[in-house]
């Protein structure tokens, strides 16, 4: 009975939230064609229905995903939001080998959603940065054949005009010997396959998808002039023939335009698949810089000025919607912190998606539920700290400690503070299980928030997967109970 009462309350709450979402009218339109990436490499991914509402609240009608998880994709049905789905690199060889697998994938992951009022799937990115230098050529032979087989399956399904096939490439597929855009060309080791891909994109009326990261230019070179990574400085400039460049994004983009021109495709449609600025994990990754970057970039987009040799409106997907605590940090500790929003859908800094440059906060995720208000810290009883470092390392090897480094949000903690932060990250990632706060007896669960200043000790959200587990435990409990009553 108590459970039934709870459900009715929950139902009213859901109806109330739904009503609230419908009623609200939220400010100006976002920039036309503005999209955003939603990656789900998180221990507690957000409920896709909350995400779909959040995008609508912010008037963002394009989303790019990294796979084609059916539950996620179907959350966008009836929303009108344009969806790009992805095929991960580890599946490229399968689709390169087999027409049948490609057809099956298209049937199960694309065609299924395309009914009237279904999901507006428009693009498939076959692979994600498959030619990245650090992959040592692992996907060079499979990417294009996989694209071709997926395209054949698309043709066979009769959806050629609706769904376009492409591949998301990192800007490291092209380079310029002199740093001048006009010297741009595709990398030697992949020039031939790039020509085939470009011809394919041209024939199928698809688009060239490229990820450009001014932050990485700064990260990779000590001597990189910082202002050149942003959009608000006139001081640094590259002159190239008659073109003047005062930001690295324009210079990078036009290097691609030149490379395409040399390959014979001057008018190829270019879409920026990822661009953004992280907020933690490095001394140049913080909310102030991210705010400055997005403000300049969004204003530039709204102005439709384009780049010196490709003037006009641009199409871009920002990177990214949320922080992802399970992303590989091999490229750098900032990798877990690309979110414009935190892991729980709260905004980190003001951002104006209309490009008017107003100091305003975006619409946050609505209806997010948190786990209990408790944290795991180093017990106050531990006076001898000699055993702490080993335990701390263990916690950090299994949870995200990237906020502890130099210039990061938690860089002013002492050893005990470091340990508490690490213990808590480990504990929250494991759904606050009591065993996850043991640490050889050094851990202690507290109910007072240990967060200090910029250093947030997070509490995880109840991710959808977690909800399902809870519900099934309750269900099995109720079933068990009824069996008990029937048999006794
Ligand atoms: C559809 O996509 C999902 C997620 O990418 C994948 O797990 C599944 O295997 C795909 N279906 C087929 C038939 O390949
Ligand atoms: C690429 O090669 C480097 C150096 O040989 C190696 O450390 C790295 O693990 C390789 N990466 C892949 C994805 O094979
Ligand atoms: C702290 O613990 C270590 C390891 O158990 C021990 O070797 C050391 O003597 C202790 N230090 C003090 C001051 O008790
Ligand atoms: C805390 O951790 C960070 C990152 O590992 C480290 O740089 C710093 O020195 C640590 N602080 C103390 C007091 O051990």
Q: What is the DSSP string of 410-479?
A: TTT--HHHHHHHHHHHHHHHTTT-GGGG-TTTTEEEESS---BTTB-----B--HHHHHHHHHHHHHHHH
> Does a structural domain hold residue 58?
yes
Q: Return the ligand 2 atom nearest residue 135 CA.
A: 13
E-assigned strand segments in 18-67? 34-38, 62-65
Ligand 3: atom nearest CA of 384 is: 1
Point out the ligand 1 atom lying closest to the alpha carbon of residue 109: 1
Give me ligand 3 centre to Cα 388, in Å.
11
Q: What is the pLDDT of residues 259-312, one digit of tens each?
A: 999 999 999 999 999 999 999 999 999 999 999 999 999 999 999 999 999 999
Distance 423 CA to ligand 4 centre (A): 14
Mark whether 132 and 245 lie in a shared domain. yes
Residue 172 forms part of a structural domain:
yes
Q: Which domain holds residue 61?
A: 9-337
Q: Name the CA dihedral angle for 49, 54, 60, 65, rounded to a multiple of 10 degrees.
A: -50
User: Given a cut of 70, is residue 230 above it in pLDDT?
Assistant: yes
Ligand 2: residue whose CA is nearest its atom 1: 136
Say how many C-beta atoms besides its own lie within 10 A of residue 452's C-beta.
13
Among 130, 134, 137, 189, the mutation site with the greatest number of ligand 2 atoms within 8 A of its Cβ is: 134
Is 317 in the same domain as 413?
no
CA-wise closest residue to 77 among 40, 47, 107, 48? 48
Does 380 lie in the same domain as 303? no
Q: Which two tokens stand for residue 272?
A: 């920026």
> In terms of domains, do 286 and 418 share one?
no
Average pLDDT score over residue span 204-231: 96
pLDDT of residue 475: 41
Q: Which residues line ligand 1 (CB under 6 A)?
A: 67-69, 104-105, 108-109
Q: Which of 136, 134, 152 has its CA nearest to residue 144? A: 152
pLDDT band at 236 (very low <50, low <70, confident <90, very high): low
C-alpha 101 – ligand 1 centre gap (Å): 10
Ligand 2: distance of its center to the CA of 186 in Å?
Answer: 22
Residues 299, 292: contact at Cβ < 8 Å?
no
Contact 66, 40 (CB under 8 A): yes
| DSSP-derived 3-state class of residue 391 | helix
227 and 287 inside one domain: yes
Distance 74 CA to ligand 1 centre (A): 14
Choice among 13-22, 82-91, 236-245 with the minimum mean pLDDT: 13-22
- Position 256 pLDDT exceeds 90: yes
What's the Cα-to-Cα distance from 51 to each of 101, 141, 174, 258, 346, rounded to whole Å? 30, 36, 34, 38, 12
CA nearest to 190, candidates 241, 259, 251 = 259
Nearest CA to ligand 3 atom 6: 386
52, part of any domain: yes
For ligand 2, is residue 135 a contact (CB within 6 Å)?
yes
Beta carbon of 136 within 6 Å of any ligand 2 atom: yes
Domain co-membership, 25 together with 173: yes
In a domain, 259, yes or no: yes
Q: Same structural domain for residues 330 and 383?
A: no
Compute, in angstroms, the gap from residue 338 CA to the centroid of ligand 1: 26
For the chain, the first-to-last Cα distance in angstroms comes to 21
Q: Tell me: the pLDDT tens digits for 40-80?
A: 999 999 999 999 999 999 999 999 999 999 999 999 999 99
Q: Are 227 and 93 in a shared domain? A: yes
Q: Which ligand sits nearest to residue 417's alpha carbon? A: 4
What is the spatial distance between Cα 349 and Cα 409, in angstroms, rounded to a whole number? 14
Task: Work out whether the CA dihedral 319, 403, 220, 240 comes out positive or negative.
Answer: positive
- Atom 8, ligand 3: which residue's CA is nearest? 386
Q: What is the pLDDT of residues 460-484, one digit of tens each?
A: 999 865 444 444 444 444 444 444 4
The verdict on 192 and 324 lying in the same domain is: yes
Residues 386 and 314 in one domain: no
Which H or E run contains 378?
Answer: strand 375-378
Query: Which pLDDT value is given to residue 33?
Result: 87
The catalytic site residues sit at 129, 274
- By most ligand atoms within 8 Å of CB, the mutation choice from 384, 440, 441 for ligand 3 is 384
The structural domain count of the chain equals: 2
Tokens encoding 108? 């199960």
Answer whether residue 233 is part of any domain.
yes
Q: Which is higher by pLDDT, 362 or 26?
A: 362
Q: What is the mean pLDDT of residues 90-95?
A: 98
CA of 138, nearest ligand number: 2
Q: Is residue 414 part of a domain?
A: yes
401 versus 5: the higher-pLDDT residue is: 401
Q: Which of 382, 385, 386 to mutate to test the pocket of ligand 3 (most atoms within 8 A of CB)?
A: 386
Q: Is 330 in the pocket of ligand 2 (CB under 6 A)?
A: no
- Ligand closest in space to the Cα of 134: 2
208's enclosing H/E stretch is: strand 208-211
Tell me if 138 CB under 6 Å of ligand 2: yes
Looking at the fold, whether 310 and 181 belong to one and the same domain comes out as: yes
CATH code of the domain in which 31 resides: 3.20.20.80
User: Rounded to the nearest whole angstrom, what is the distance from the C-alpha of residue 137 to the centroid of ligand 2?
Assistant: 10
Would you say residue 30 lies in a domain? yes
* pLDDT band, very low/low/confident/very high, at 162 (cuts 50, 70, 90): very high
Pocket of ligand 4 (CB under 6 A): 404-405, 414-415, 418
243 with 309, same domain? yes
| Average model confidence (pLDDT) across the chain | 91
Q: Please, which residues have CB within 8 angstroms of residue 322's CB and are 6 or more apart in sequence?
A: 38, 39, 42, 46, 339, 341, 342, 343, 345
| Omega of the bond leading into 141 within 30 degrees of 0 (cis) | no
């Amino acid at each position: 009975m108590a459970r039934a009462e709870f459900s009715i309350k929950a139902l009213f709450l859901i109806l109330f939230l739904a009503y609230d979402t419908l009623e609200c009218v939220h400010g100006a339109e976002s920039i036309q064609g503005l999209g955003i990436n939603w990656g789900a490499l998180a221990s507690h991914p957000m409920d896709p229905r909350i995400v779909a509402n959040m995008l609508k609240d912010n008037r963002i009608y394009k989303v790019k995903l990294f796979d084609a998880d059916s539950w996620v994709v179907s959350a966008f049905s009836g929303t009108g939001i344009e969806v790009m789905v992805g095929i991960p690199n580890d599946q490229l060889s399968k689709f390169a080998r087999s027409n049948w697998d490609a057809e099956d994938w298209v049937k199960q992951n694309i065609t299924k959603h395309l009914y009237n009022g279904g999901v507006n799937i428009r693009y498939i990115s076959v692979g994600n940065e498959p030619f990245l230098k650090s992959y040592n050529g692992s996907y060079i032979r499979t990417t294009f054949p996989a694209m071709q087989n997926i395209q054949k399956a698309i043709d066979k399904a009769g959806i050629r005009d609706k769904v376009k096939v492409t591949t998301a490439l990192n800007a490291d597929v092209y380079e310029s010997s002199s740093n001048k855009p006009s010297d741009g060309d595709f990398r030697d080791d992949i020039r031939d396959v790039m020509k085939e891909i470009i011809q394919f994109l041209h024939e199928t009326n698809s688009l060239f998808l490229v990820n450009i990261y001014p932050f990485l230019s700064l990260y990779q070179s000590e001597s990189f002039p910082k202002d050149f990574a942003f959009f608000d400085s006139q001081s640094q400039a590259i002159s190239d023939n008659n073109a003047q460049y005062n930001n690295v994004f324009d210079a990078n983009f036009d290097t691609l335009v030149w490379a395409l021109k040399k390959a014979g495709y001057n008018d190829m449609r270019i879409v920026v698949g990822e661009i953004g600025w992280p907020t933690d994990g490095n001394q140049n990754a913080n909310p102030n810089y991210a705010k400055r970057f997005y403000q300049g970039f969004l204003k530039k987009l709204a102005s439709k000025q384009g780049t010196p040799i490709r003037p006009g409106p641009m199409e871009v997907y920002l990177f990214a919607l949320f922080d992802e605590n399970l992303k590989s940090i091999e490229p750098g500790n900032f990798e877990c912190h690309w979110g414009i929003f935190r892991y729980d859908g709260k905004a980190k800094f003001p951002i104006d998606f209309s490009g008017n440059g107003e100091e305003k906060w975006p619409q946050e995720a609505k209806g997010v539920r948190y786990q209990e208000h408790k944290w795991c810290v180093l017990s106050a009883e531990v006076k001898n700290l000699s055993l702490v470092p080993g335990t701390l390392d263990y916690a950090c090897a299994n949870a995200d400690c990237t906020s502890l480094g130099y210039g990061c949000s938690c860089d002013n903690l002492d050893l005990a503070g470091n340990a508490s932060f690490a213990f808590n990250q480990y504990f929250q990632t494991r759904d606050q299980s009591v065993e996850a706060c043991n640490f050889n007896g050094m851990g202690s669960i507290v109910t007072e928030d240990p967060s200090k200043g910029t250093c947030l000790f997070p509490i995880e959200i109840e991710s959808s997967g977690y909800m399902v587990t809870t519900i099934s435990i309750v269900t099995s409990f109720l079933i068990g109970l009824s069996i008990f009553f029937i048999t006794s």
